[in-house]
A = this chain, B = another copy of it.
């Protein structure tokens, strides 16, 4: 696997790279506060939605370009990289003028017009797996971007739709080691969307690392119960801090174990 470096942040080198922030950007003060809080916990990339793909047109649709201005300011003040979703191929240039990484959301993984254009534009991409897409289709969506010459792609497993009702999605962690075999793109896991439950973020983050993920994307909010969207799958600061400590320790162990055992394991397999 070849690592991907965006500015001062590297994905896929064995380190633990975490993207965190609110589901939706709600206002300037809040975003700046969250940015500082997650940076203190060791986060490298600030996430925040300005254009929100909502099932109903009557749900909160995000702050739009105003939200992106706050992202840019938060990135400048903290030194964090920033990532936000682009939903419309007409908006690529505009969104890219504010954030370091363009997110292609799960509902747009099959939006081939958008994939081609972000491929041509060349900005780094976070490509989320469609909740209805096979692993092969996921890799072929990345191929739409790669074919245009843009190799700055981070993949993100975020769960698939099944019949299970106690979780919002079924987090398909087997995709992580399969993609590691089939592709050299880094892959992170989003346990917030992948489970839809705040109480499942810690165990499934640990499972994601053990399965070989290069990083995580986690929703954080000072008061999840008052978040404008997705509060039920969002951690508050103290839970997030405890999670980051536990994950750093686990990642150090796994990296060490991998170095120790890989030669023996490779002989055996």
Contacts and interface: CB of A to CB of B under 8 A. Distances in A.
Interface of A: 51, 53-58, 87-91, 107-108, 110-114, 116-117, 130-132, 134-137, 140, 143-144, 147, 160-167, 170-174, 176-178, 181, 194-195, 199-200, 202-204, 206-212, 238-239, 241-242, 245-246, 249-250, 253-254, 257, 261, 264-265, 267-269
A203 B199 contact: no
B110 A147 contact: no
Contacts of A170: 160, 162, 170, 172, 174
A107 B54 CA distance: 16
B112 A111 contact: no
A181 B199 contact: yes
Nearest to A236: B268
Contact of A140 (B55, B147, B199): B55
7 contacts: A53-B112, A90-B90, A136-B165, A202-B265, A207-B207, A238-B267, A241-B268
A212 B208 contact: no
B269 A199 contact: yes
Nearest to A260: B249
Contacts of A134: 163-166
B160 A177 contact: no
Contacts of A250: 210, 253-254, 257
Contacts of A254: 250
A210 B203 contact: yes
Contacts of A172: 162, 164, 170-171
Nearest to A56: B140
